[in-house]
Amino acid sequence: MESRTTEKNTLIFRIVGGIFLVFGIIFLAVTFKLWLRGSVPGMMTADTSGSYCTLEPVGSECLGATYEGAQAEEGYTFYRLDFQVTNEGDETRYMDNYYGIYFNEDNGNYNDVLDWWHTEEEESQPRYLFEDYDYTYLPAGRTGTYQMVVQILDGVKSFTVDYYPGDVSGERISFDMTIE
């Protein structure tokens, strides 16, 4: 009788010990991964804290020499640039934070693309990121569209877009964009 009790206790201790061993290995693996992520720059992930958004060109549309009652500068045409925005961060990105898009920042052709400044009335109207939804923000982990109206010098077919994706990181993403 005592032998059966001892065997039963031994079996219980082996099962409980095995469970603790499995949890211990999982804990060590998670701890090691977090240590790597925090101690090795660029390891396993980008710095996506805050509202880290990536920007990719989707297309463009020629709007002509006039746009919403305004005449383009001499030698320029209005274009709408379309971008896909992905919020890879852990915070919501609001529309008023879409600053930091520059054109031809490094090659000196600053006058190829001119920003278009909306009137106060146009600025007060909400600008939507998602079709058919009235979101003026991009939640973490979501993808939306961003449109920007600019004036492009006649004859220019491509230009460089520089974008700063993070809140304060200073990282710059550059890509060439061709107009249609």
Each residue's pLDDT tens digit, 43-76: 444 445 566 788 889 999 999 999 988 899 999 9
- Strand residues in the chain grouped as ranges (E): 53-64, 66-67, 70-71, 76-87, 93-94, 101-103, 113-115, 137-138, 143-153, 158-163, 173-178
Domain harbouring 140, CATH code: 2.60.40
Owning domain of residue 37: 1-45
Same domain, 158 and 81: yes
Q: What is the pTM of this model?
A: 0.62
SS3 159: strand
Same domain, 69 and 121: yes
**Residue 93 or 142, more confident:** 142
**Average pLDDT for residues 148-173, to the nearest whole number?**
82
Distance from chain centroid for Cα 49: 11
Each residue's pLDDT tens digit, 22-50: 999 999 888 887 776 655 444 444 445 56
Q: How many domains does the chain have?
A: 2
Q: Which of 12, 28, 45 is the last residue in one of the domains?
A: 45
Same domain, 116 and 144: yes
Q: Which residues contact 98 (CB under 8 A, 6 or more apart)?
A: 146
β-partners of residue 93 are 138
Same domain, 76 and 39: no
Same domain, 129 and 168: yes
CB 59 within 8 A of CB 87: no
Each residue's pLDDT tens digit, 104-116: 767 667 778 887 6
Same domain, 78 and 98: yes
